[in-house]
Structure 1
Amino acid sequence: MKFSLLALVVGTVIEGSLTSQDQYEVFEKISVPAPWTPKAGIVDPEQSFKLRIHLKNKNIDSFHQKVYDVSTPDHPEYGRHFNRLELRDHLAPSDESYDLVLKWLESKGLAEKSSVEDDWIVVQGTTGDAEKLLDTEFGLFENLETGKFTTRTLEYSLPKTLHAHVDIIAPTIKFPSMAPQMSTIVKDFPAPPVQFSTSSVADVHDGLNVTACNVTITPDCLKALYKFKHFRASRRNGNEIALAGFLEEYAQHDDLATFLSIYDPAANGSDFATGLINNGVNLQQIVNGSQEIVEANLDIQYGLAISYPTPTTYYSTAGRPPETTPTEVDNEPYLEFLTYLLKLDKIPQTISISYGDGETTVPESYARTVCDLFAQVAARGVSVLVSSGDSGSGSNCSVVDPSKFQYAPAFPASCPFVTAVGATRYVEPELAVSFSGGGFSNYFPRPSYQDAAVTTYLSEHADPAYTQYFNTSGRAYPDVSAQGVFFHTILSGSDGLVSGTSASSPAFAGIVALLNSDRISNGLPPFGLLNPWLYSTGASALTDIVGGKSSGCSQVAGSGFPAVTGWDPVTGLGTPDFKKLRLASTGIAS
């Protein structure tokens, strides 16, 4: 819902009136995060700048429990998800919060540049407007690893009266750090590993070509390995799947057509819809297998092929680390993407996100606001799956505090309202991949749905010599895993191989979309937040991975997590077995 600020301010009566002279106090403050460094010069005060002000939601703590209730099997509220209006009304900020913030903006002459969008107030102004409003100075910062620039501040202030009414204001202190969770792009196909070589041409078990699938992955490998080859979803029961695109990644229609003609002929002629968010685009005819298409093509090719014929949407959200000479401030794509979804009357029931940040690079206030938005999406009956990261337990153990080594978790995988997907490789047996991200959050406590599984891991499997390096009471991830190495992917007409948990997430999401289709066709609600079901009813329908180990950081010898019996911080509860998952979900045997 979007209203003009002027219309809302007129006639407003506020107790303890707030004026532009009210005392300002620092609201958020950080040091320059690595690998960013400040650059000399003054930011153009006329540079366009969109501020998002998030008001504190009412009932947020009880709302979190409500999300768990509607997602937990055997709970009386299971499956009773919110619609858009119910959710908006349940979480609406107080009238006082709206009144105080609107009056403040009016006092700064920004009423005509502002609008209200549910629990957000959006100010379409300039850098100069933002500096005056927030009593701060914005500066230009360079990323020493990428050479990109961004406009940010290291602290900002609000009138003291507003501190109890505002969650965050963005973009301010959150520096761009999102990246595709992708480890390699390979054009020369590898030979079979020695330990899996075989002279038998007929090395096929239950439709699974073990020799071929131990080397590279195709849709046929996944269909046979995860046992969904003979299930066909409904095209017309209202079930949908979506893949999220950020950082100017463009999914190519022509490459999808080529991919399907080679690797999934049954789906020939299928295509995806495109949703454009925050002035996003989805450019076509990108040449030379550029990085601009790799993540998007991987996601759409496997998400669509696995869930076929489920209607598929690629959401392209603008907002990224900007070009070397930025002309306007980049916005936070998670905020843009999730707030867009929550305005829809109907959201696709399954969403895959193959991007992430290091948790420590994300201000805690920002992470909590984004995680709350994921909770709202889950409350709408949507299953969100995210890549767990491609740095094992963390490639840098001194990123938090140089004087104290600590594993580095990933975000949004560490949010308890998403399902984090780690990576495996090889078949019969599957093994954990060294890059598969996993660990324990420093921001979010462990949710009750995973207490039993994680407590067992900590008491029976965790090496006491290493527990000092992570938060044993934090949200643990990944929740599940799937293949993540050497996925055949068509890039600008050529066949390449792509690896990473960015492959694992759309693969698992496609299977969840099949399960949601089955549920809807049988009169059941979609899953929504998967995790309470996965850690209870669904756990026995997953294949436990007990071999392999994740990598760690160079500062701590032997760091990383081994795969063990039961849940572990490299493969989670395991990989999918569709036949068992379907039986656990609907009681129908395949």
Structure 2
Amino acid sequence: MRSLPLLLTLSLVGARGTLSPWTLHEKRSQIPSGWSRAQQHEPSAMIPLRIALTQPNISNFEEYLHDVSHPDSPNYGKHWTPEEVAVRFAPSNESISTVHEWLLQSGVDPSRVKLSPGRGWLHVNSTVAEAEELLRTKYYVYDHNTGARHVACESYHLPAHVTPHIDFVTPTIHFDAKVAVRPSHGPVVNAAAKKNSDSLEDCDKQMTPACLRALYGLKDKPASAKGNSFGIVQYPPQAYRQQDLDSFAKKFSTGLDGVAPKVISIDGGTDQIKYVGHAYNTESSLDLEYAMGLVGPKQKVTLYEVGDMIEGASYNNFLDAIDGFYCFFMDGDDSTFDPVYPDKHHGGYKGGQPCGTTKPTNVISTSYGWDEHALSNLYAGRQCLEYGKLGLMGITVLYPSGDNGVAAIDQTCTGKGKTFVPSFPSTCPFVTSVGATQVSSGKSVHDPESACDAAQAGVYSGGGWSNYFGMPGYQADAVKGYLKHHRPPYASGIWNSTGKSRAYPDMSANGANYLIAIDNEFATASGTSAAAPVVGAILTMVNDARIAAGKKPVGFINPTIYSKKFAQGFHDVTTGSNPGCDTGGFKAAKGWDPVTGLGTPNFPKLVEAWMKLP
């Protein structure tokens, strides 16, 4: 069973203390959509090299996570402390000394080599010319069609005796992205909120909290156990408006009029009011109105606001705050694309960068995604591992599977235009990926749902197979069953047909035509970003029941939901598909499928099953 990147298995060795031959460490196969190489980088320019040191015990990581997350494990729910995680995965003294010695032998002055406080990274301030010599590469400046610029190389090399001690080096081949705008979703359409708060009519046209409660058998009044928590992550310039939350509450959520989320600012994050409109308020309105509306007024919802309006933020900025293992300016971040704080720009956030200072909520839902191929597989693997560490500590992490079927965020495809584009972080085996379903046109909440259809909802549920991550053991049987009975008819060059890679999504929820209050009016919006916070609310209600009974939160749920003990916990979705890349995409089918995963939640059965666990 492997949950780490398929390409992480380099085992080159050499004589320590000598500069052994250089070997290729990473190479990019293509430039992400929207980017083009402009020019070679200026040799005298400074570049902050960050060297990610390999971590011990990674080969056993899935075993560790399985031990606290699988329902048959005697240690189910016995989550690790942050200190236990830190000790288990701290890089060895041998790795630190080997890489340090290589740098010094290469002519780097010792004063320019710094070890991060977490011992996970070495930092070297270098000129471009020095970095090119160290890594046997060439650095270029890339331009984006939005006007953004990026520094990267096409490949790089390391001495063979050093390779086993280094995961990857940044900045090199990958194109990470600051989260700045709402991803591609279904259209936001103005709508009249004619429905009563408890009406179940026209749920195929306007989804409301009452429709969701009926679909999934949700409680109206959770117990709101002390110590339970649910968090939504927001990136600038997205912002909610309290008057919109109040308008929605007056119509659909008794007891929430005037209630605001608990706001935690990270790196200067704030509810900006300079920019308003659907492009700036839809995501936050959608997430908060339904997250708060479903869990009720007694359960506080936390809003993590990440990044100021000038620098913005990346996923790493959020990880910095909640996870001290992936932190510090000289640690997990890369200043060429990860915003660095304090922000030196005029009007930027001048406070210090948080490092593990923000307590993570039991459930975290993030309604954003990125194209897997835009990242280095080693870089994505390191970030994925941090999500796994959160799972070890009992945190549930949810990401949407994407809204363009098998295509990229911008609806493009790779290769000759037909190669499918997996979505990250959904392809990370240590997060729970959430797809989207719909009440089909003319049907009711009492009829089986189907996969989201662009004709009705404006989106197709993302799904498929990763090109980076191996198949985790928890989903092997379910995915093999799909490939045996419903194997897609496409050539192997279009999708990862090996049957050995991570498949997604894991589960789904309705994502079609959500009625939201936004900018003093009502409108409808669709997307897997609607489904993810709904699943987050449902799992928060499960935690509510467990905590009230003296049990621990569910933590990383994937080994549990794929087990036989939870076979009755989902409504199977067998109709629909996720087209893209000039193909019909994949088809929904009986059992797990790469469109809707295991299906949609059957809340009473899920609570029943989870309450039977320790």
- TM-score of the aligned structures, taking structure 2 as reference length: 0.79
SS at match of 1:561: coil
Which residue of structure 2 lines up, in the alignment, with residue 60 of structure 1? 58
Change (3 A) 1:310 1:43: farther
Q: Deviations over 1:210-245 (max 9, x none)?
A: 32322112223222322223331425x212111223
- Give me the whole-angstrom Cα distance separating, in 2, the residues matched to 1:129 and 1:512: 51
Equivalent residue number for residue 446 of structure 2: 428
Aligned-pair CA distance for 1:44: 9.8
Comparing 123-132 and 307-316, the one that deviates more: 123-132
Matched, 1:298 2:256: no
Q: What's the C-alpha RMSD, in Å, of the aligned pairs?
A: 3.5
Distance 1:23 1:574 in 2: 51
Q: Secondary structure at the match of 1:67?
A: helix
Aligned counterparts of 2:116 and 2:69: Cα–Cα separation in 1 = 31
Cα 1:35–1:53 shift into 2, 3 Å: same
Give the aligned residue type for 2:166: V
Q: 1:402 to 1:541 in 2, by over 3 A?
A: same
Q: 1:238 to 1:119 in 2, by over 3 A?
A: farther
- Closer, same or farther: CA 469–25 of 1 in aligned 2, 3 Å: closer
Please give the alpha-carbon distance, in whole angstroms, between the structure 1 residues aligned to 2:576 and 2:192: 20
Distance 1:164 1:252, change over 3 A: farther
Correspondence for 1:212: 202
1:455 to 480, 483, 486: 480
The answer on 1:98 being equivalent to 2:96 is yes
1:148 aligns with 2:136: no
Structure 1 counterpart of 2:406, from 386, 393, 409:
393
Q: In the alignment, which residue of structure 1 is the partner of 2:263?
A: 274
For the structure 1 residues 484 and 110, does the alpha-carbon distance in structure 2 shift closer, same or farther, using more than 3 Å as the test?
farther
More deviation, 292-301/384-393: 292-301
> Is 1:315 the counterpart of 2:343 in the alignment?
no
Q: Deviations over 1:153-199 (max 9, x none)?
A: 3334445543221112334321145674441242322999xxxxxxx
Alignment partner of 2:432 out of 410, 419, 424? 419
Cα deviation code 1:418-477 (max 9, x no counterpart)? 111110111332221131011112222222212222222222233546777432332221
1:70 is the counterpart of 2:60:
no
What's the secondary structure of 2:365's corresponding residue?
strand
CA distance in 2, matches of 1:255, 1:120: 44
Residue 117 of structure 1 is matched in structure 2 by: 117
- The 8 Å contact of residues 190 and 521 in structure 2, kept in 1 or not, is answered as no
**Alignment partner of 2:190 out of 188, 191, 200:** 188
Partner letter of residue 188 of structure 2? V
Contact conserved, 1:339 with 1:373, CA < 8 A, in 2?
A: no
CA distance in 2, matches of 1:382, 1:230: 24
AA partner of residue 361 (structure 1): A
Alpha carbons of structure 1 residues 423 and 127: separation in structure 2 relative to 1, 3 Å: farther
TM-score scaled by length of structure 1: 0.82
C-alpha deviation, 1:573, in angstroms: 1.1
The AA in structure 1 aligned to 2:164 is A
Verify: 1:337 aligned to 2:355, yes or no: no
1:40–1:460 distance in 2 versus 1, CA, 3 Å: closer
Partners of 2:411 and 2:292 in 1: CA distance: 37
Preserved contact between residue 397 and residue 407 of structure 1 (Cα < 8 Å):
no
> Aligned pairs, how many?
544
Alignment-derived partner of residue 28 in structure 1: 26
> Structure 1 residue 539 and structure 2 residue 539: aligned?
no
CA distance in 1, matches of 2:43, 2:243: 41
Does structure 2 conserve the Cα–Cα contact (< 8 Å) formed by 1:397 and 1:408? no
Is the Cα–Cα contact under 8 Å of residues 49 and 171 in structure 2 kept in the other structure?
A: yes
Equivalence map 1:152-163=2 (5 Å): 152-163=152-163
Structure 2: runs of 5 or more not aligned: 1-14, 325-355, 440-444, 454-459
Deviation string for 1:377-422 (max 9, x for gaps)? 111111111101111123699945439x543221111111111111
Task: Report the CA distance between 1:540 and its aligned residue.
Answer: 0.8
1:80 counterpart residue number: 78
List alignment gaps of at least 5 residues for structure 1: 1-14, 193-200
SS in 1 for 2:427: coil
Structure 1 residues 51 and 382, CA gap change in structure 2 (3 angstroms): farther
Q: Distance between the aligned counterparts of 1:84 and 1:350, measured in 2?
A: 17
SS at structure 1 position matched to 2:568: helix
Q: 1:123 to 1:496 in 2, by over 3 A?
A: farther
Residues in 2 aligned to 1:450 and 1:533: alpha-carbon distance in whole angstroms: 10
Q: Compared with structure 1, are the counterparts of its residues 444 and 100 closer, same or farther at alpha carbon in structure 2 (3 Å cutoff)?
A: same
Structure-1 separation of matches of 2:321 and 2:51: 15
- State the Cα distance separating 1:319 from its structure 2 match: 9.6
**Change in CA separation of 1:268 and 1:414 when aligned onto 2, cut-off 3 Å:** same
2:305 is paired with a residue whose SS is strand
Q: Which moved more, 1:493-502 or 1:61-70?
A: 493-502
In 1, Cα distance between equivalents of 2:102 and 2:265:
32
Local SS of the residue matching 2:202: helix
Residue 515 of structure 1 deviates from its aligned partner by 0.7
Q: Structure 2 vs 1, CA of residues 136 and 318 (structure 1 numbering), >3 Å: closer, same or farther?
A: farther
Q: Which residue of 2 aligns with 1:234?
A: 224
Aligned to 2:470: 445
Contact 1:310 1:513 in 2 (8 A): no
Counterpart amino acid of 1:368? G
SS of residue in 1 equivalent to 2:369: strand
Q: Which amino acid aligns with 1:73?
A: P
Contact preservation (8 Å) 1:227, 1:577: yes
Mapped partners of 2:130, 2:227: distance in 1: 43
How far apart are the structure 2 equivalents of 1:281 and 1:365?
29
The change in CA–CA distance for 1:306 and 1:85 in structure 2 (over 3 A counts) is same
Q: Residues 37 and 142 of structure 2 are in contact (CA less than 8 Å); yes or no, is this contact kept in structure 1?
A: yes
- Structure 1 distance, partners of 2:236, 2:438, is 27
- CA drift of 1:529 comes to 1.2
Which letter maps to 1:431? Answer: S
2:36 is the alignment partner of 1:37: yes
CA deviation string 1:95-122 (max 9, x = no partner) = 1122334456676347468451324326
Partner SS state of residue 230, structure 1: coil
Q: Whole-Å Cα distance in 2 between the matches of residues 493 and 398 of structure 1?
A: 34
Instruction: Tell me how far apart the structure 1 counterparts of residues 285 and 231 of structure 2 sit (CA, whole Å).
Output: 13
CA 1:284–1:464: 2 relative to 1, 3 Å = closer
The question of whether the paired residues in 2 share the 8 Å contact of 1:152 and 1:172 is answered with yes
Q: Which SS does the other structure have where 2:116 is aligned? A: strand
**2:303 partner SS:** strand
Q: Does 1:573 align with 2:591?
A: no
CA distance in 1, matches of 2:230, 2:406: 30
- Answer yes or no: is the 8 Å Cα contact 1:51–1:130 preserved in 2: no
Separation of aligned partners in 1, 2:318 and 2:451: 31
Q: What percentage of residue pairs aligned between the two structures are identical?
A: 32
Task: Report what 2:343 is aligned to.
Answer: none
For the pair 1:175 / 2:203, whether they are aligned, the reply is: no
CA contact (8 A) 2:239 2:284 kept: yes
Q: Distance in 2 between matches of 1:249 and 1:153?
A: 32
Work out whether residues 550 and 560 of structure 1, in 8 Å CA contact, stay in contact via their aligned partners in 2: yes
Distance 1:489 1:473, change over 3 A: same
Q: What is the match of residue 529 of structure 2?
A: 502
| C-alpha deviation, 1:25, in angstroms | 5.4
- The CA deviation at 1:92 is 1.2
Give the conservation status (yes or no) of the 8 Å contact 1:105–1:111: no
Deviation per residue, 1:64-88 (Å, 9 max, x gap): 2110221100211211111100001
Shift, 1:135, TM fit: 6.0
Give the match for residue 285 of structure 1.
273
